[in-house]
């Protein structure tokens, strides 16, 4: 973990992908909307297995999210370019973008619960495109701020597919704050579960 350096935007931050990703980054709270609209409006007949498999995916995703928030703090919810520290320990030693990996499992979990299984591969492609662009922006920002330290971190830690670090780092985790910060997210999960349940009953 280190303090940011003052430096101009890196070439990576100025690419077309990063510029598009910057727009998506600032509006990322709206990105689940198309997933949910299709899942809620498309006809389907989910089974108990859909609910079980979807719930497992959601629990896995939220566990990854909690691990990320507990290590990095609620700064992970930022909308600005201001980053105060580079976190490379805990779940960040396994994968560079744990919150987005967690989001992937959660979103796919709700698609599975909906029973609209034809949409699952489409959702995976949409997620991959959106978050590849967002990460292009975020990585460009981190390269601008932390320079060589971040480049070395990129070389040893995968972007999407977690793997155990060769030299695990330890650092502070605030699990209590992480749980508090996710309360609104848990309420959203509950609301969505109720809506999907109502849809199933009406179907």
Which alpha helices (H) appear in the chain, and where do they start and end? Answer: 16-26, 32-41, 48-72, 98-114, 119-146, 148-156, 175-181, 183-202
Check residue 34 and give its pLDDT. Answer: 81
Per the prediction, the chain carries an average pLDDT of 88
pLDDT-derived band at 75 (thresholds 50, 70, 90) equals: low
CA–CA separation, 95 and 102 (whole Å): 11
What residue ranges define each of the domains in the chain, with the CATH number in brackets? 11-202 (1.20.120)
Check residue 5 and give its pLDDT. Answer: 45
Check residue 40 and give its pLDDT. Answer: 86
Tell me the DSSP string of 126-140: HHHHHHHHHHHHHHH
């Amino acid at each position: 973990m280190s303090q940011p350096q003052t430096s101009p935007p890196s070439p990576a931050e100025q690419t077309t992908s990063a510029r598009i990703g910057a727009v998506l980054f600032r509006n990322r709270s709206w990105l689940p909307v198309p997933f949910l609209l299709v899942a809620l409006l498309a006809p389907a007949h989910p089974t108990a297995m859909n609910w079980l498999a979807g719930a497992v995916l959601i629990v896995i995703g939220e566990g990854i999210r909690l691990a990320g928030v507990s290590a990095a703090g609620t700064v992970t919810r930022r909308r600005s370019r201001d980053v105060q520290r580079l976190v490379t320990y805990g779940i960040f030693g396994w994968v560079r973008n744990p919150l987005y990996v967690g989001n992937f499992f959660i979103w796919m979990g709700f698609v599975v619960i909906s029973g609209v299984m034809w949409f699952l591969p489409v959702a995976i492609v949409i997620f991959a495109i959106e978050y590849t662009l967002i990460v292009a922006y975020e990585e460009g920002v981190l390269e601008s701020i932390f320079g060589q330290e971040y480049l070395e971190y990129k070389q040893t830690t995968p972007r999407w597919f977690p793997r155990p670090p060769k030299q695990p780092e330890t650092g502070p985790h605030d699990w209590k704050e992480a749980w508090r910060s996710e309360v609104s997210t848990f309420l959203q999960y509950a609301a969505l579960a109720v809506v999907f349940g109502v849809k199933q009953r009406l179907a």
